Amino acid sequence: MSVSNSHSELRVARCITPNGLIENVSVGIDDHGFISEITQKSKSDFEFDVTLCPGFIDLQVNGIDEIDVSTADGQEWTTINHHLIRQGTTTWCPTLISNSRDNYAKSFGRIGSYLKTQSTVAPQIAGVHLEGPFLGEAPGAHESRNILHVNQDWIAQLPEFVKIMTLAPEQSLAPLAIDQLIKQGIVVSIGHTRATSEQFDAAVASGASMVTHLFNAMSGIHHRENGVALRALTCDQVAVGLIADLVHISCEAINLTFRAKRESDIYLVTDSIAWNNRTAKNRGIVVRDGAPRLPNSTLAGSCLTMNMAIKNLVTQCGIDLAVAVHAASQNPAKILQLTDRGRIEVGLRADLVALDKHFNVVASWIAGQRIR
């Protein structure tokens, strides 16, 4: 399934398109790395018994294994790229949790330096996701000393590569902050919060359009109290993220989400962390019962991969394969207005992933070039 800079054709058994799964498909890739043709064959003459998917887009990656994106430097970026491509992720958002302003500045500097030299045949950074520091009454694994009050001067100085911020609507200046962030081209996500319905609605009215890892680090569902999770499920103005490791959320919660929300408003994230580095060990974080946890058992991100998130949705929760793949590709692309990727469609980038019947990644392409 090798692809070079010359025109290439992939003949596959199955292909996930914006309209669903089709069989016996030929996908053409032009000299510039764009999809030039999609043809469904009348008979089974495919060359590869795989499901061809759009490259996965992960909007929440704090780290993987030993590498934390907040401190990554030099060769560590290459290592994390290898981890990402093995799970089919071709576009991603390095995610920085709540920290001091000095540490944020250091992280911005390292990420900015990497972006200047980022290879065109590596997983592409769509922007940085700031998960904090303006959080609320559900900090989760975030250290309380790093949760700060909204500071509009600091927001004004954020680098242009910051594209998402998670904040809590109960912050006193939340509506002003949301308005400012949106004017700076930053998508606002509601998270780590126990906001009231009024605070949630005020955030949405100000322009918040996402909810970070639905059900986790927020008030939940009660038949008389409108927790954040319930409000998110019933609000058509927000897309919701799911950590589908079946530890953070159950299949029942996943199925409820797919019944309550439009399919196009659900996106998968890994929320993966550097569970195996010194900082995690110093905080007492260990992987236990399927996820990284603090000593008090609080979940501290995941060790999930995107291909396994899709597998869980399909094999454990009964979600349609195409719907699950869309939640890992075209839906997050829509959130960040990445109009050149996220779908297998003529004229778009040939960011592609081939999955076998066990959901293993057997090949990946970025802009038409095979990198796995």
Q: Which of 133, 121, 119, 115 is nearest to 69 (CA)?
A: 115
Nearest to 138 by CA among 210, 70, 212: 212
Q: Pairing between strand 291-293 and 352-355? A: unpaired
Give catalytic status of residue 351 as yes or no.
Answer: no
Peptide bond into 133 cis (omega under 30): yes
Rounded to whole angstroms, how far apart are CA atoms 112 and 129? Answer: 14
Give which of 327, 329, 321, 319 is closest to 352, Cα–Cα. 329
CA atoms within 13 A on the CB side of 364: 23
Token pair of 323 as six digits: 């719907």
β 48-54/8-17 pair status: parallel
Among residues 65, 271, 340, 351, the one annotated as catalytic is: 271
Which amino acid does the sequence have at 191?
A: G
List Cβ neighbours of 111 (8 Å cut-off, separation of 6 or more).
Answer: 69, 72, 94, 125, 128, 161
Return d(Cα 299, Cα 301) in angstroms, integer: 6
Compute the C-alpha angle 345/348/352, nearest 5°: 75
What type of residue sits at position 207? G
Q: Helix 197-206 and helix 174-183: axis angle, to 10°?
A: 20
8 Å CB contact between 271 and 112: no
Each as own residue / partner, the long-range contacts of residues 21-25 (CB below 8 Å, 24 or more positions apart, any chain) are: 21/51, 21/321, 21/322, 25/52
**Of 194, 309, 298, which Cα lies nearest the Cα of 241?**
309
Active centre residues (catalytic): 271
